[in-house]
Amino acid sequence: MTGQGTRPLITVLGASGLLGTAVSRELAARPMRLRLVGRRPTAVPAHPAASVEVRTTDLAEPGAVADAVADADAVIHLVAHTAGPGTWRVAAGDTLAERVNLGLVHDVIEAIRAQRRARPPALLFAGSISQAARVPSDGTVGAADQPPTAYDRQKLAAEQAIAAATAEEVVRGSTLRLATLYSLGTDAPDLDRGVVATMTRRAVAGQPLTMWHEGTAKRDLLSVDDTARAFTAALDSIDAVAGHHWEIGTGEQTSVADLFAMIAEAVAARTGRPPVPVVSTPPAEYSMPTDRLDFVLKSSAFREATGWRPLVPVREGVDRLAAAVARETVAVQVSR
């Protein structure tokens, strides 16, 4: 990618979140101009090769999106509505969630359209595999998109808006439909509210790990570092990936029961205590249809298009996160 006679300008929306922090870290190592936009200050790696501008703003405010994407050669859209530990548990009729998850995508497209750029900027969007959650006879996610929740419907609508804008040559857009993400403990622990980090913190605290539906649902677990590399790979191959959505995962199946047992064992190895128990409990009232589905992705097409490969096996990733959470817990206790 090239800018207009200078280094390219990349805008990352949602740069202060877990994935945004990882993507920003990847991009900061490159000789480019980097605009990091988040609701809270974004951590910038020491000695970046990029020229970094950090903006702390609420993108839902009038004009904020247009300012954020002005003159950008590429926009990486990672913003999602956050409402407690389960950001995907969006209630139907939640207008704020719809404004953030879908409305901001329309704002980005219209802001870019107004710029009338000679070459359409790249636009990469963080989707979710759950937006394609149709359940065929074998119990795995099927090819037809039948999103079962408000969150998934908003994600799919945003993806469709980007596809339409790409067809109009307003942007060169693509959606990466992501597997279940987890941190390796590289970033601040409070950034990761996902199930792997939550259960790791419970195990370090000596609490039992509780699962629904006997833990039979299978997940494709992808480290956030591998995910960040997928976004940079897509950016490098934008003309090959534009106009399509892509599944991004490892292709490996791990049941929730096996995952939780893995977490308990990894934490036990770090703390010297026996593994905490893993127990099945009735689903909570806020459980979703997707909690019972298998989500295992096929990313071979994206790998062929970009050369990307996941590098972190799930057992190694769980062990690294357990080590990081255990260290953080000890440091907090010592500082008190």
pLDDT in tens, 28-77: 999 999 999 999 888 888 899 999 999 999 999 999 999 999 999 999 99
CB 151 within 8 A of CB 217: no
Question: For the chain, what percentages of helix, strand and coil (3-state, to nearest 5) are there?
Answer: 40, 15, 40
Confidence (pLDDT) at 45: 85
In this prediction, residue 82 carries a pLDDT of 59
Confidence of residue 87 (pLDDT cuts 50, 70, 90): very low
Which residues, in sequence order, are CB contacts of 22 under 8 Å at separation 6+? 186, 187, 224, 225, 227, 228
pLDDT recorded at residue 94: 67
pLDDT above 50 for 141: no
Strand blocks (E) in the chain? 9-13, 33-38, 51-56, 74-77, 122-128, 172-178, 180-182, 209-211, 218-219, 221-223, 245-248, 254-255, 278-280
Q: Retrieve residue 249's tokens.
A: 């995962």
Q: Which helix (H) or strand (E) holds 196?
A: helix 195-204
Does the reported pTM lie above 0.85? yes
